[in-house]
Amino acid sequence: MTEKLIYPFTFGDMSQKDLLGGKGANLAEMVRIGLPVPAGFTITTHACRAYLRTGQMPERLNEQIDVALRDLEKLSGKTFGGVDNPLLVSVRSGAKFSMPGMMETVLNVGMTPEVTQSIASTSGNPHFAWDSYRRFIEMFGKIVCDIAPEEFHKVQERIASSVGAGNIQTLDVESLKLLCEGFKTVISLATGEDFPRDPREHLLRSIEAVFKSWNSERAQMYRRRERIPSDIGTAVNIQAMVFGNLSDDSGTGVAFTRNPSTGEVGRYGDYLQKAQGEDVVAGIRTPLSLDEFAQLSPAVAAELDAVMELLEAHYEDLCDIEFTIERGKLWILQTRVGKRTAEAAFRIALQFVDENKISMDEALRRTSGDQLAMLMFPQFDITGQLQEIARGIPASPGAAVGEVVFDSKRAFDLSKSGKKVILVRRETSPDDLVGMVASQGILTSRGGKTSHAAVVARGMGKTAVCGTDSISVDESAQLFTAGTITVHEGDLISIDGTSGAVYLGDVPVVASSVTSYLEGRLSAGSDEATPVVKAVDRILMHADSKRRLKVRTNADTPEDAIRARILGAEGVGLCRTEHMFLGPRRSFVERLVLAENEDVQRSVIAEMEPLQRADFVGIMMAMSGLPVTIRLLDPPLHEFLPSLADLSAQMARAEAIHEEVSARNRALFAAVNRLHEANPMLGLRGVRLGILIPELYKMQVRALVHAYLEVKKLGHDPHPEVMIPLVATQRELLYLRESLEEEIARTFKGSGLKVLLPIGTMIETPRAAITADRLGVHADFFSFGTNDLTQLTWAFSRDDVESTFLPRYLDLELLPFNPFESLDEAGVGILLRTAVDLARRLRSDFKLGVCGEHGGDPKSIHFFNSLGIDYVSCSPFRVPIARLESGRAAIIG
């Protein structure tokens, strides 16, 4: 039986996004609830996947398209390719997950010179007819024939200047006819073939172009950023055209049921009179607001308001709606759950709770740790002397500072070299995505709140100011002017996506109100608390009430521990004691390595002990009543000693000029030469160092016991734990454990206290993971060091691969994401699952934690929760993010 690859809009509902794509499923849903949707049909994602596998249109697809077209002709009373009453259609992409502007659309398919002449006659509007044909030819050339937009712009500018027209909208009919012929010539020269005349060929090639656009560079980049699977493909929607460029009482727009930027209640969107849909999204003209549209067409605006209210109630969420008005008749072209900023996400979720539309659990599902992180970014300090040079539409909030750049590729290159840039364009297009991703923010002179720049920036959490019509952008000259001020490429500007202000120079930033709240400097119940602070407070408290996972912090100083506790940390999951010997204390490690004998070594260790003790006192006081896990020294020696290459160069230089080398430098060179390792991350570190220099770890536990006694004496409640790093064998762990327990007991002796400090180990080698049951016999707890575990499982050196081949692997989609940012569940995750199972078979209450960077990654937290791990540990800044995401993991499952 032949697989059915096409369904009319009258089939299906919003639950069938896997088959119909998001757009197709939502079109079917709107038809089902009785909204005015132009008729059409959807080519399924199965068809696209078949095409992507073979490079050929699926067998029998053409036949099914012919059948679907005949049904559409009967429904509309029009004929595709017919001259008397022609049916014109749009061809639009529509993947399961929203990818705004990342794939292709072709409008007005079915137009030919004969059809255009017929429409000109029957509509009484030749300008509309030839403008529509012009649009089709240009889209076909750019999208189907893959011709650079500049080639069409050259023809457009030549004809416009020859008749003295300021822009394409003011061309007369004869000029539009010339433009159509000029565009056809561009296509013929580029392809070596005459422009095709058969509407059916136009349709089939447009469908194929949409399939191909799934793997366009910008679509791949967007999927990587949003972690959308690369193998699901897109559906294609064929829909009868309605024309917003037909007459003065026609137009097109985009509406949101609430403000997707701030979350405020009320209509929000753009409307362009006498225009087609791509004009709004492209930002070529600055549109009217919906309030202005309501004054222009109150009856249609009221109808649109009713549709917005119905869709929001139906989807129980913020809706993004594309609409067209043709001679006063409202048509809804698509809807989807709208993308929103982080601020809007929290505010809208709470609004729906307070309106009794969703539960607090659902509000928690609709917010995320990534969004909370965005809200913690700084904001501009506008109390000082600022030079505001322009003000546009605040399209995506935030504070961005950078050098002005006018080209997306250059923005990408400068960003890779370490510079912060602001991408400035007249308007952006989907081809600008690479520059938008690389930039700190986006500034455009055209476009509105629903332009391409605004929609994409909001989705990425990028700051954007659009429709800044007081600036004139000259991309070819690499400058823009704002009144009498000229800003050149490379000049520094600051843009405020919350107010729309554009400032010359570098504006200082201050902590966000959300960060002030999280750090205890602002009460959620105070008059100064913003709506988003109140929303974050309620949702975060709900997350805390739902989560099972405890959230600890990685803290190496008392200051870090204090800050983390204020942010909600429930202990220290990782205190990296080697970090206490960076900076001014680095010389201790150097002296330890250079020690001529054990007596000198013991002397250096004795000097280190009071420093360690003081550090431990401060951290345990900050975390009184909560666990503090002290990881014993794990210093890769290359991080503490001069490089062998530098020392060799110094020695060679001294020898060349017959300069005497000091005894210290000779000893240092000899020691570094002796200890040099080809791969220090796999060399003398962790447990191996503790076994070779046993006094080192003994000193650390002595310092910890003395700190414990001092903190206890001060009336605090310390809960230290000892963690041994980089263990691979049962014998290593047993050998060190026995030695440390003896030292702990000896130090406690005479204090009147007998305290058994928990001693555990990190699981950061694959061998440790798969022999966890053996290690568990001698460990009170495990903590997964997922950074090293990832390096050792993948055979990746993090410091090297992230600057060499890993970016290329991500570009080629050989890896779906960076495994150092989110845990590799399919590989490293199996090791974790194995270790968890083995440990819990040994003891059902075996305490398990995660202390790698993944402990603060929202996606990874869901995996850790599913394994039944007891706690995650992350940097202080990410503690609130981990709290929120742990709550989400508990309710999402």
Q: Which residues pair with 724 in a beta bridge?
A: 761
φ, ψ of residue 91 to 5 degrees: the values are -125, 110
CA distance 280 to 256: 14
Catalytic residue among 48, 180, 851, 874: 851
Q: Please tell me the distance from the alpha carbon of residue 239 to that of residue 331, in angstroms, as a whole number.
A: 12
Q: Tokens representing 390?
A: 């322009």
Q: Which residues of 188-200 are buried (b: 16+ CB within 10 A; e: fewer)?
A: eeeeeeebbeebb
Question: What is each CA distance from 215 to 59, 191, 438, in whole angstroms?
Answer: 21, 22, 20
Q: Which spans in 367-407 are helix H? A: 369-375
**Size (the chain), residues:** 893
113 vs 83: CA distance, rounded Å: 10
| Start-end of H helices in 657-802 | 663-675, 687-692, 694-713, 730-748, 766-770, 772-776, 786-794, 798-801
The single residue of 452, 638, 706, 854 carrying the catalytic annotation is 452
d(CA 530, CA 524): 8
Secondary structure string (H, E, C) spanning 564-605:
HHHCCCCCEEEEEHHHHHCHHHHHHHHHHHHCCCHHHHHHHH
Answer yes or no: 202 catalytic: no
Q: Which of 95, 161, 107 has its CA nearest to residue 131?
A: 107
- Using CA atoms, how far residue 9 sits from 2, 24, 34, 71, in Å, is 20, 7, 12, 12
| Widest distance between CA atoms in the chain | 106
* Tokens of residue 13, six digits: 């509902």
CA–CA separation, 222 and 563 (whole Å): 35
**CB-based contacts of 214: which residues, under 8 Å, 6+ apart?**
48, 52, 93, 95, 103, 233, 234
DSSP code, position 662: P
Q: Which residues contact 557 (CB under 8 A, 6 or more apart)?
A: 580, 615, 618, 619
Q: Is 145 a catalytic residue?
A: no
Residues annotated as part of the active site: 452, 851
